[in-house]
Structure 1
């Protein structure tokens, strides 16, 4: 097994990309290393680029007797690759030990507040970035420093609106943790563009499933579509959450800490029973090789390979299956209020977006040109 390490940038932070030929054992091993994260942008694991981390991961891979290719690193490892849209790259220092400890306390505080894992990791990352910036400027946290950080590392390099909102939320959460009040922060949250969701047709869903030969993989992808689940909800499902008598699936502590019921398809139940007899999961419906939760990155890779084989060129994610479920329900005549309940939306306005992508709704509108 060859592990390839290469310097790169992720959200203006120097990182070490970790690439390898896909292997479940290797993926799980890397994912368990402290400080390693998954990047959707790079489609790879990464760790902050520092001499300590470089030695740590090299040693971790050598313990497994895997070959480590680090030829991509220049002799002087402190050089930073060029990034578009940024005139000057500011190299941020490694956090001092006291700040690192404080950051870890902040992470535990968020976990105790029962924030979702994704939210905790995101706020932790953006706050670390901000604290390194404060350390570089040798300044205490203030309104001016936050506004300067926002300009230098978000506005100036033209980061996405989503990332800007994440940074603002992360910094404000850190201020809440520190019981600090910074007045009159001139950081208006920009509105995200309202883009319509990408949707697969029923035939395209069928073709995707036909190109998944592994029973476990097919069952997971079929579940997400047939029940309209978020990937986190699907992976946290327990065997006891499947109610075949009432033909429903019990989703517990979903987004917003809410429980709900969604549909259990009779056709999917046949597939699920075949899967259960073969794999016999004990606690979670889908478990990793060493037990515990199956990973979302593995599920995304399954879908990515299947859509490629099915020759579908749309930009597809696991959430596309949920969008498709809702749209197909609407096209089949299901009341929008029932769809809202099945999806677990707090507001009907969120569900109404599917009226804009439903082909049936569009086809039923009479074009005024036909009256001419």
Structure 2
């Protein structure tokens, strides 16, 4: 009986296509396109394969009956061999376990004819991988899942989304195979396009190799890790010079009450945008005017922050009733779009982040005739406190900037400050918009 096989075609750029599109029917071409769009989106696939998004839309709607083979071969490069196998041949690689692999090895040892047949197939279809096995690493679905789970558990939601977006595109463009030379060539190519992009790509690859490959294959992992350096990018952006009076005017001009509260907390605490955005109502102690961030990582320590008395009163009397009304109004609609309603209901800011940012930017343009990054409010807070004569260490503690180990050493041996004293510094020197 003749068995179907994935057919590898050498492309002009030296990489391998996983399929021969001339042997596919239209249904399978559509499934390949749908799977690639599910992973990377229409815009990305359209850009990489040289067609318009409208053309892709017409392919999916079957308004164009014949999909070009060259286009599908390009699209197939963004899928793993397992995904293509499932679509093209209905193969399920997860059904091949260790016992089957051992059985094949035993049969190869005992049966010379089978051994010759099997090795011939391996050389024909996997020769490149066998030859490069000691210097290359093939990324599996398990590797992808483990890495994304690690990032999700250790990074903020915004950082997780950024890394995920970069990572999935990187491994697709590298055909799920890492070698020292391929990584260097890839980063060099990205450098020519954008140093900023190359910087993010090099950081993501370093993190993946460190957390996933090195624990599995130490020698190969370290070879890959040391084969390239994290791209250095000179920071061209300088934080805006902001005055307290300008921030007060912007605050008073913000129309969206949720965005108003969001802006108020950012300006008066100097916390990171992601930290404020992800706050839950239960993290705010309105009686004692304390924000419990409770976040510790290798580079960040967000201990606790505080609210001014007037701010706590405004949030409690004005903002929370508005928020409660919003939650009650849209809870049913949220349930219908398959979002975890219980988690959503606990958020201090259950609104669309884009809507809040847009409203704040409109207020910036109205007052300043320009806009600045919300992250600049963090710089404003630090500068404002330092100008009041507050110790840099106090500022670092209030903004969660002291690393955990450094914080512990300072607290235990050199710099003892209680939560009450920290709040006293805040009450006396922190900026007030109300």
**Which band: TM-score by shorter chain?**
0.5 to 0.7
**Could you say which residue in structure 2 is the equivalent of 1:115?**
154
Q: How far apart are residue 202 of structure 1 and its match?
A: 0.6
* Distance in 2, Cα, partners of 1:130 & 1:36: 11
* Residue 330 (structure 1) aligned with residue 386 (structure 2): yes
Comparing 197-206 with 98-107, which one deviates more in the overlay?
98-107
Q: How far apart are residue 54 of structure 1 and its match?
A: 5.9
In the superposition, relative to structure 1, how do residues 278 and 345 fare at CA in structure 2: closer, same or farther (>3 Å)? same
**Aligned mate of 1:297, from 337, 351, 354:** 354
Larger C-alpha radius of gyration, 1 or 2? Answer: 2
Structure 1 stretches lacking a partner, 5+ long: 1-32, 38-45, 63-75, 80-90, 349-372
**Could you say which residue in structure 2 is the equivalent of 1:341?**
397
* Distance in 2, Cα, partners of 1:231 & 1:254: 16
* Distance in 2, Cα, partners of 1:148 & 1:310: 47
* Distance in 2, Cα, partners of 1:303 & 1:171: 35
**Could you say which residue in structure 2 is the equivalent of 1:169?**
203
- Pairing of 1:57-72 with structure 2 (within 5 A): none
Name the one with the larger strand percent. Answer: 1
- Pairing of 1:125-204 with structure 2 (within 5 A): 125-135=165-175, 140-153=177-190, 155-160=191-196, 163-175=197-209, 176-178=211-213, 179-180=216-217, 181=221, 183=223, 185-193=226-234, 196-204=238-246
Per the alignment, in what secondary structure is the counterpart of residue 183 of structure 1? Answer: helix
**Aligned mate of 1:279, from 304, 323, 341:** 323
* Distance in 1, Cα, partners of 2:269 & 2:171: 42
In the superposition, relative to structure 1, how do residues 288 and 196 fare at CA in structure 2: closer, same or farther (>3 Å)? farther
* Distance in 2, Cα, partners of 1:217 & 1:232: 14
Q: How far apart are residue 124 of structure 1 and its match?
A: 3.0
Structure 2 stretches lacking a partner, 5+ long: 1-36, 62-67, 84-138, 335-340, 345-349, 405-434
* Distance in 1, Cα, partners of 2:332 & 2:279: 13
Residue pair 1:143, 1:182 contacting (<8 A) in 2 also? no
* Distance in 2, Cα, partners of 1:230 & 1:261: 12
* Distance in 2, Cα, partners of 1:166 & 1:97: 23
Count of matched residue positions in the alignment of Structure 1 and Structure 2: 272
Q: How far apart are residue 261 of structure 1 and its match?
A: 1.0
Q: How far apart are residue 164 of structure 1 and its match?
A: 2.5
In the superposition, relative to structure 1, how do residues 303 and 255 fare at CA in structure 2: closer, same or farther (>3 Å)? farther
**Could you say which residue in structure 2 is the equivalent of 1:98?**
81
* Residue 217 (structure 1) aligned with residue 259 (structure 2): yes
- State the 4+ residue runs in structure 1 displaced beyond 6 angstroms: none
TM-score of the superposed pair, with normalisation by structure 2: 0.53
**Could you say which residue in structure 2 is the equivalent of 1:21?**
none
Aligned CA RMSD, in angstroms, stands at: 4.1
* Distance in 1, Cα, partners of 2:192 & 2:304: 45
TM-score of the superposed pair, with normalisation by structure 1: 0.60
In the superposition, relative to structure 1, how do residues 118 and 235 fare at CA in structure 2: closer, same or farther (>3 Å)? closer
**Could you say which residue in structure 1 is the equivalent of 2:311?**
268
Name the one with the larger helix percent. Answer: 2
* Distance in 1, Cα, partners of 2:250 & 2:332: 23
- Pairing of 1:207-246 with structure 2 (within 5 A): 207-246=249-288
* Distance in 2, Cα, partners of 1:125 & 1:309: 34
In the superposition, relative to structure 1, how do residues 255 and 230 fare at CA in structure 2: closer, same or farther (>3 Å)? farther
Residue pair 2:199, 2:232 contacting (<8 A) in 1 also? no
Write out per-residue CA displacement over residues 105-129 of structure 1, whole angstroms, 9 at most, x where no aligned residue: 5145332451323343333333333
Q: How far apart are residue 312 of structure 1 and its match?
A: 3.7
